[in-house]
Amino acid sequence: MSDAEQTVEISLEQVADYEFKVRFDGTSIPDLATDETSPLGHDAGPNPSRLLAAAVANCLSASLLFALRKYKNTPGPLQAKARATLTRNETGRWRITHIGVDLQLADKAELLEHLDRVLAQFEDFCIVTQSVRHGIAVDVNVRDGDGQVLPVPNAG
C-alpha cells in the first residue's frame, strides 16, 4: 500500500437481535457494542446514525484542535454537540439529511493566535466530514454460510 492510500478495518459480530460487537481490527481498541434503538433493538449501544454523528463531531473537534496547535496555541478542552436530522425519503426510508455540529472553545477568541487562519482551514483537515460531504462509494457483498457470494441488486 502506498503513502497515498490507507485502510481501516473493522469486524462486526451479532450478539443478539440487533446488537453487534464491533472489533477494530489490528488495534488494541476495546470492542464496542452497537444496537438499534427500541422498539427494534434494546439500546445496548449507539446505533449507526449516532455513530456517524459522533464521528463527524469528533473529527471536527480533533481537526480544530490540530489547527489551533499548528499555530502554537494551547487551547483549553474543546466540547462539541452534534445533531443528526433523519428524514423519510420519497420511498419512505429514513435517511440522514443533515448533521449540525456546534464546537465550543474554552478560550476567548482574542487569546488565540491566528484564529482567522485556524477557522479558515480546520474543516479541511477533517477526514470524516469532508468524506461525508462529498459522498463515499460503498460496495456491498453478501455471502452465504458456504462463502458463496449472493447477488445483491444495487440498492442505491
Nearest-angstrom CA–CA distance, 65 and 105: 10
Radius of gyration, alpha carbons of the chain: 19
Residue 129 has what pLDDT? 95
**pLDDT at position 73 over 90:** yes
The answer to whether the beta carbons of residues 54 and 99 sit under 8 Å apart is no
Residue with cell 460503498: 138
Nearest-angstrom CA–CA distance, 138 and 155: 11
Going through 4-135 in order, the beta strands assigned E by DSSP cover: 11-16, 19-23, 32-34, 79-88, 94-104
What does each C-alpha distance from 71 to 24, 39, 62, 106, 122 come to in angstroms? 32, 48, 15, 17, 12
Residue 33 has phi, psi (to 5 degrees) of -90, 135
- CATH pick for 47-134 out of 3.30.300.20, 3.30.70.890, 3.40.47.10, 3.40.50.720: 3.30.300.20
The kind and range of the H/E element at 149 are strand 149-150
Instruction: Encode pLDDT of 18-71 as tens digits.
Output: 999 999 999 999 999 999 999 999 999 999 999 999 999 999 999 999 999 999
pLDDT band at 88 (very low <50, low <70, confident <90, very high): very high
Residue with cell 473529527: 59
Instruction: Encode pLDDT of 5-33 as tens digits.
Output: 999 999 999 999 999 999 999 999 999 99
Report pTM.
0.90
Q: Which residue ranges make up each domain of the chain?
A: 7-45, 47-134
